[in-house]
Amino acid sequence: MNCNYIKNITLLGLALGVFTLTSCEPDDICLAEEAPYVTLKMYYPNSDTELEDTIFYSAYINDTILIESGSNERDLTVLNLPILSTENRTIKYVLEQGSTYKTTFINENDTIVTTHQAPQDIIYVNYQIDNKYNSKACGFGIYYKDANFTTTNNWIQNLEIVNTTIDDATSTNLNIFAEPRRY
């Protein structure tokens, strides 16, 4: 009798555990989504061939630096630029194609140090901030809409806007067409 009592309690506890785990709806749990990024893909000019290059960037609002140094070292064809919810709806990204480096030449009379500046270009992103409903558990979240992109066209030859809504870290917003580095 005591053995049946323990068996019944164990089965009841197991049934309650299974019921509790299976009664949640998918939107009852908020899975933290990634923050939105401006996602750029790089291509050779007038081509659909992806350009692999290391790009370093800095981000500014009103000439105040927000991000001093970032890069696309994980995926050399894609660049994810962080975006912020600020009152100023324009972010300036300074992109460097590769890194700046120095060379030193030493002869009998002199030491010559030469700095090789990586090619720079600037992309301006203008956007509007809005809210969207994510789910019952997560509620509302911020997204960016009506994004407009311009560049100073130094090493970037052309821009192709793919998506003007910035609401995740995976959707491409902008295609960049550029020549590969020469050094």
Domains of the chain, by residue range, sit at 33-178
Mean of pLDDT over the chain: 80
Determine which of 17-21, 66-70, 86-90, 120-124 has the lowest per-residue pLDDT on average: 17-21
Query: pLDDT digit string (tens) for 147-180?
Result: 999 999 888 999 999 999 988 878 899 999 988 8
Query: pLDDT digit string (tens) for 98-129?
Result: 777 778 888 888 888 888 778 889 999 999 88
C-alpha separations of 133 from 39, 91, 167 in Å: 22, 25, 12
End-to-end CA, the chain: 85
Mean pLDDT confidence for 26-50: 79
Closest CA to 180 of 43, 74, 75: 43
CB-based contact 125:83 (threshold 8 Å) = yes
Global pTM value: 0.71
Residue 178 φ then ψ, to 5°: -150, 155
CA dihedral 165, 74, 155, 128 (to 10 degrees): 20
